[in-house]
Structure 1
Amino acid sequence: MAKVLVIGGTRFFGKHLVEKLVQQGHDVTIATRGQHDNPFDERVHHTILDRTNSSELREAFEETVYDIVYDNICYTPKEAMELCAILNDHTTRLIFTSTMSVYEADGVAKREEDFNAMNYIYDLIPSQQHSYAEGKRQAEAVFEDYANFPVVAVRFPIVMGDDDYTSRLSYYVEHIEQGEAIEFVNLDAEMSFILADEAAEFLYWAGFANIEGPYNATANGKISMRTLIQTIEQVVGKKAIIVEGASPYSIPASWYMTNAKATEAGFTFTQLTDWLKPLIEKIAK
């Protein structure tokens, strides 16, 4: 049984991860802001804190040693630095939820070496707020420099699921159902995706596997926005009204990555085409 801390674990794939950890008999603590109910009741320890408040973070965890820490809500290099200062000598390994956004959308299949966090410049006191992508890049760089424990940076594409609180896929399903326009700049752009359950399975696996460093985690295959919209049209029985503009999946060029490194390390990914249409059908209902 491992002693595990999950920072952020009451929604979406973080919730699925905690459920998996609990089912496998691990001693789990979740740390959240308390804005959402604890769905696990007495099966986990629950600490309420502000992730961005370093003194709260230190007070809660500096005296506890964890075998594995999962950080699903680190978005800046400053947050990464503060976590290293607290967890150095207090954990065996960290699984950091990063993102495909560390890569540029340039039509080329991305491999882990296409973004190297080592020697990447970071700014702990930025003059303006980091973008999501830049915050994740710099956080990875800080963990490279300051963590004295193994870190796995899990780079996810957009995560899909019927319980996605961002409602990105639902946006398209609902707009097409209701005859409302949806926006794209390039319908032929292709993207990677992963299902929430699979994202949780990968995080769990990464916690116990003998791996370290960056790992792309995505379902096998990619899909063009044109094919995605056509699939939704088939499910809802209506034709999409498409205009030029910005929307959750509107990208100028193909943006996808290979999972070869993780596959070689022993994780078996699903096929995107096996679950995408059933997911759309579930959302449409």
Structure 2
Amino acid sequence: MPRRALIIGGTRFIGRHTVEEFQAADYDVTIFNRGTHENPFGDDVGHVEGDRTEEGQLRLAAERVDPDVVVDCVAYHPRDVRVACEVFADVDAYVYISSGASYGAEHIPKREDDTPLHDCTAEQATDDSAETYGPRKAEGDRAVFAAAEQGVNAMAVRPPVVYGPHDYTERFDYWIDRVDTHDRIVVPGDGTNLWHLVYVGDVASALRVVAEEGTPGEAYNVGDGHAPTLGEWVELVADACDTDIEPVFASARELAAVDLDLTDFPIYRPALHLLETAKLRALGWRATPHQETLAATVADHRASDRTGRENGPDRATTERLLDVLETV
């Protein structure tokens, strides 16, 4: 009899790939969500409709599915994690998707057992803003650790920014769109900005590996095997698009000439962000090479209506900047 996996979420991005990962490993998969997004799986995947923030509905899903493994893709507040750890206290593995944003210190690299997490106030714990995302995820981690001390098989996986097919955030799509449609690409700074990313399929495989091989009460970073700088990413995307481009690097002072800031561009982060992934690799997990991840990501971008253009400066503004730079 196949093992049963319950994916909380499961239809949009990380959850969608997680469903496919567990299916490929011969699990009987059910998703639990509100049904507000199209279900891409049809009858191949079970579906329990409900609101995960309602404890009674979560308990009903647990009773109906009786899962061996639970992967929580949509726990955005500490209370969500605490309740889930109570509801699924007897499963073989409860895996919470945390975030690299949970780290509260700018260490290079960030290590699970050494780098401090964000503190989280009571006000932050119930907030929904982007500013409190890291503290809320960190408090969810602490809920996992506390549950494990009580005998719950709870673990956390911490990805940084995720890219790949079906990425509704469109952060990475911004750069694919630029590279795929223009030959001169404005890159903020000198191109050495580094923000560790991770391919969505590798997050999904990490979730399964941690569910099967992880240790309760532990957190595991996941990230690409190589962490390119932003300048390198632009070149890698150009290779995947099979096009020639000219990166044009623009300093903060040069960007200011057209009222832009370095952080107006997606995947630019003032401080270097690198996650150590040795702990996850020790479980047998391996990252997919960029040649494969970018081929799949570019193909999906071209087949979709995503452009990512709302995530960064519009082309008219960057054209003005290019004109300014040519006169300097």
Gaps of 5+ in 1: none
Q: Distance in 2 between matches of 1:124 and 1:58?
A: 27
Query: In the alignment, is residue 60 of structure 1 matched against residue 69 of structure 2?
Result: no
Who is 2:221 aligned against?
A: 216
Who is 2:195 aligned against?
A: 191
Q: Distance in 2 between matches of 1:31 and 1:149?
A: 21
Who is 1:204 aligned against?
A: 208
Bigger share in strand: 1
TM-score (norm 2): 0.75
Q: Distance in 2 between matches of 1:63 and 1:124?
A: 34
Who is 1:249 aligned against?
A: 267
Who is 2:152 aligned against?
A: 149
Q: Is the 8 A contact 1:160 1:193 kept in 2?
A: yes
Indicate the larger mover: 228-237 or 158-167: 228-237
Q: Distance in 2 between matches of 1:157 and 1:69?
A: 21
After TM superposition, give the deviation of residue 161 of structure 1 in Å.
0.8
Who is 1:275 aligned against?
A: 292
Gaps of 5+ in 2: 256-260, 304-328
Bigger share in helix: 2
Q: How many residues align?
A: 282
Instruction: Select 2:283's aligned residue among 257, 265, 274.
Output: 265
- Taking the TM superposition and a 5 Å limit, the aligned residue runs for 1:1-285 are 1-62=2-63, 65-89=66-90, 91-104=91-104, 106=106, 108-115=108-115, 123=122, 126=125, 128-129=127-128, 131-147=132-148, 148-176=151-179, 177-178=181-182, 184=188, 187-212=191-216, 213-232=218-237, 235=241, 236-240=243-247, 243=255, 244-245=261-262, 246-272=264-290, 274-275=291-292, 277-279=294-296, 281-282=298-299, 283=301
Q: Is the 8 A contact 1:47 1:60 kept in 2?
A: yes
Q: Is the 8 A contact 1:173 1:284 kept in 2?
A: no
Q: Is the 8 A contact 2:99 2:137 kept in 1?
A: yes
Q: For the structure 1 residues 122 and 208, does the alpha-carbon distance in structure 2 shift closer, same or farther, using more than 3 Å as the test? A: farther
Q: Distance in 2 between matches of 1:185 and 1:52?
A: 42
TM-score (norm 1): 0.85
| Sequence identity (%) | 24
Instruction: State which structure, 1 or 2, has the greater radius of gyration over its C-alpha atoms.
Output: 2
Name the SS for the 2:68 alignment partner. strand
After TM superposition, give the deviation of residue 34 of structure 1 in Å.
0.5
Q: Distance in 2 between matches of 1:134 and 1:142?
A: 12
Q: Is the 8 A contact 1:184 1:250 kept in 2?
A: yes
Q: For the structure 1 residues 67 and 184, does the alpha-carbon distance in structure 2 shift closer, same or farther, using more than 3 Å as the test? A: same
Instruction: Give the counterpart letter for 1:217 in structure 2.
Output: V
Name the SS for the 1:211 alignment partner. coil
